[in-house]
Structure 1
Amino acid sequence: MEKLRVRFAPSPTGVPHIGNTRTALFNWLLTRQNKGQFIVRIEDTDRKRFNSQSLDKILEILKFLGLNWDEGPQTGGSYGPYFQSQRLDLYQKTAEELVKKGAAYYCFCSPQRLEKLRKEQRAKGQIPRYDRHCLSLSKAEVEKKKRTEKYVIRLKMPDSKIFSWHDLIQGDISINSKEVDDQVLLKSDGFPTYHLAVVVDDHLMRITHVVRGVEWISSVPKHLAIYEALGWPVPKLAHLPLILGSDRTKLSKRHGAKSILDYRDEGYLKEALINFMAYLGWSYRDNAQLLSLEDLVKVFNLKNIQKQNCVFDIQKLDWFNGQYIRMKLDKELVELLKPFVPQNADKEILLKIVPLIKERMIKLSDFSKMAGFFFKRPNVNSSLFDNKNYQDHLKKALSALQSIEVWKEPEITGVLMKIIKDNGWKTGDFFMSLRIAVAGSHQTPPINDSAVILGKEETLLRLNEALKA
């Protein structure tokens, strides 16, 4: 039985978005479940938009998520090169072969003529498409023009042919060739377009399954025409549903969509990102199941991917992230928090802080707003206090806390609760005044636990400073 081989083939022309990464994840899961091979191929034929930093980020994302590849950049393999810009001779040879078979032809039309043609067609309410002006050129005319004029090679789509195929996700699909333009396959600079390169590479790299976004369905007839003309077997096709924003429009930054590296830098864990992306179009039970990458390999199935477009819900990502944060051991969380805490932060102090805020954290970056006061004295002024009795609260607390000899949580709590009882104050009002004085915020870990970590001297100093505010 032929080994399953899939490819993730990004274009390094910009910041990889979450849709690209979901495609990589689904391809990776399919191969790992079927003991197949995951190939990374870089589609870098658009040299004007090529960005080496984009390429670095693509590979960094895969490594961060743990989506290791069997063949591709940095690893090599038996079917390289894995950069399309290094495979130009293969595309040029195939394009010429298609011409010989009558499945493609030379086109010498200038950009000016093509633009004029498009304008005329739009004016008539027609869909812009090439008019096959160069198809009728004789061999002699073609050879003469090739010596002096720039040319491209176009695919000659069959007339009135119905292209039908079974999509592993979308089901049976048929498209009439009348709806498809004669696509440029080889540009005048000798570089291929996507449509030629993808067919050549998928064939030569022995790709068995093509899993990609649903936006590529309209291009399938072009690819099938090339496969048929060359007598090559067609890989199985599976087109993933679109990811839409919460308002059912195209996903964009305003919906919270970013690069995986941006999410990482904001403090989202890779486990949460993987779990969240897996449910973008794929379903398993109630879609709230916490599944590790290893779990997903066991249960993932193309049959459970929906046809309908799916919705990106940032709140769901937040929920997953909070769950995974709480599953971490305190010492694990301290390590993960390194990019989000002061460089000189004491590890033992962090181990005391983490249990106090862990249950309320959504992202690792929440640490600074929840616990930053442990490392930097807050700027406290009178406008922060809600209760008119705040000065009395602080004076009583300062006086009572100064007398404590054993600076531990039970002793601190006992002293503070006695103050509340003796003065008939509301517990919430009293502790809120202390929170603001010590932490500069209305939302903090329990003030008695915070005082233990800060130490007696620092706690009293902050209470005293707040009284002067």
Structure 2
Amino acid sequence: LYLPYAKQLVESKHAYYCFCDKERLDSLRQSQEHEGAKYDRHCLGLSEREIKENLDSGMPYVIRQKMPTEGSVTYHDAVFGEITVPSSELEDQILVKSDGFPTYNFANVVDDHLMEITHVVRGSEYVSSTPKYILLYEAFGWDVPVFIHLPLITKEGGRKMSKREGDASFVDLIDMGYLPEAIVNYVALLGWSPRDNQEIFSLKELEEVFDIKGISKSPSTFDFEKLNWMNREYIRKMDLDAFHAKAIEEYKKASLTETTADLHKVSQLLRERIEFFTQIPENVDFLVKMPDNYDLNMYNHKKMKTSTENSVEFLEASYQSLAQLMDWNFQSIEKALMDTVETLGVKNGQILWPVRTAISGKQMTPGGAFEIADILGKEETLSRLQISMDRLKTFNENQ
């Protein structure tokens, strides 16, 4: 496919055969070590007879593009504007290798022409090499596409993101629990600014408002904190049924599907609290099993005015109130515990903090005492309260 096109350039004097072997090229590079290695056009001056003899004898060859030696090459980039590169900086690049296969720089020009590509979008690191492509298009007499060079996306420290260095790809981000819509939205805003301060865009909205004029010339830093925020916003806007359907796989990983917990109520809680779906197992593990020997010092909370000592009293009163409930639901649990607050004449937190801690065994949970007790059910809630009270009593006796 590509060799005939290369030979066409040879015939039009825009390319030439090069028979230099590896030893000569290595020697040339060593002699130019302090000048920047560049092919010296040794084979450009070969006569037609010499070229024919070499080809007939089966001598290995490459085909090189013949670059202009004077003046400069200027082209218009949709982002960076007019770009001029001196011809003296352009090397006679190889178009076809000695094995007959084309180089990327040659194949992509031929491929883009055959596929009738009108716009070439790529990273700004290719700005300086584009004149080589421009010259190829002109040598063939083909229409030159519009070039749009995008600023690089870098990581902290300014280094280019690279899969080779372990930086996440789109698929990796999906596997990490990010939503495709959030990733697309976030990446669209890297190096591009909309006309207003809007940050959340659907794909259809991006199609309508995206304008090349808004693309920055400067590199953008990939900020995971900003991506986390955007992903959280997308999750919060999800329909509850859609959220639940996607969360089920994570519930299975956490073995939550093997419990009697109302998974729809769990989804209702989590939708407002997680940044990405892979956070779900660590947020629901306590619903599957009460953490063994959790730290009782969590009951010592200065702001809530609770301690390991007074928490026993608060938990016993809460246990009695909850045990009397005939109907177990969020509203009845809330009323029972708030009535306990009023009866004891204490602050809300002095009841709710110990209860939440006693039935979860965790410092942080996706819901409060009412929600967790509702999801666990009456039997499990009372069982956990009793276990925690017994542990606290033993702990206090040994102090």
Fold shared by both chains (TM-score > 0.5): yes
Does 2:52 match 1:143?
A: yes
Which of 18, 22, 35 is the aligned partner of 1:126? 35
CA pair 135-345 structure 1, distance change in 2 beyond 3 A: same
- Provide the rounded CA distance (Å) in 1 between the counterparts of 2:180 and 2:270: 20
Which of 294, 298, 319 is the aligned partner of 1:398? 319
| Correspondence list, 1:251-400, <5 A | 251=161, 257-342=167-252, 345=257, 349-383=262-296, 385-387=298-300, 388-389=308-309, 390-400=311-321
Letter in 1 for 2:273: R
Deviation at 1:264, TM superposition (A): 1.2
CA pair 449-254 structure 1, distance change in 2 beyond 3 A: farther
Which of 127, 130, 151 is the aligned partner of 1:217? 127
SS at match of 2:129: helix
Does 2:141 match 1:231?
A: yes
CA pair 136-384 structure 1, distance change in 2 beyond 3 A: farther
In the alignment, which residue of structure 1 is the partner of 2:97?
A: 187
Deviation at 1:440, TM superposition (A): 2.6
Letter in 1 for 2:201: L
- Provide the rounded CA distance (Å) in 1 between the counterparts of 2:115 and 2:45: 35
SS at match of 1:385: helix
Deviation at 1:384, TM superposition (A): 5.6
Deviation at 1:197, TM superposition (A): 0.6
SS at match of 1:175: strand
The answer on whether the counterparts of 1:108 and 1:134 sit within 8 Å (CA) in structure 2 is yes
Gaps of 5+ in 2: 301-307, 392-399
In the alignment, which residue of structure 1 is the partner of 2:371?
A: 449
SS at match of 1:166: strand
**More moved, 331-340 vs 306-315:** 306-315
SS at match of 1:359: coil
The answer on whether the counterparts of 2:151 and 2:216 sit within 8 Å (CA) in structure 1 is yes
Deviations 1:83-125 (A, max 9, x none): xxxxxxx211111111122111222223343233223322xx2
Does 2:342 match 1:410?
A: no
How many residue pairs get matched?
378
Q: CA RMSD for the aligned pairs?
A: 2.6
In the alignment, which residue of structure 2 is the partner of 1:110?
A: 21
- Provide the rounded CA distance (Å) in 1 between the counterparts of 2:230 and 2:6: 48
SS at match of 1:298: helix
SS at match of 2:74: strand
In the alignment, which residue of structure 2 is the partner of 1:92?
A: 3
| Correspondence list, 1:19-98, <5 A | 90-98=1-9
Letter in 2 for 1:272: A
**Higher Cα Rg, which structure:** 2
Deviation at 1:287, TM superposition (A): 4.7
In the alignment, which residue of structure 2 is the partner of 1:82?
A: none
The answer on whether the counterparts of 1:394 and 1:434 sit within 8 Å (CA) in structure 2 is yes
Could you say which structure has the greater relative contact order, defined with CA pairs below 8 angstroms and 6 or more residues apart? 1
Identity value in percent: 40
The answer on whether the counterparts of 1:272 and 1:320 sit within 8 Å (CA) in structure 2 is yes
In the alignment, which residue of structure 2 is the partner of 1:26?
A: none
**More moved, 406-415 vs 161-170:** 406-415
Deviations 1:407-437 (A, max 9, x none): 2223322332344455565543543333333
Deviations 1:302-350 (A, max 9, x none): 1221222223222221221111111111111001213322167289922
Deviation at 1:259, TM superposition (A): 1.0
Which of 348, 365, 388 is the aligned partner of 1:466? 388
SS at match of 1:345: helix
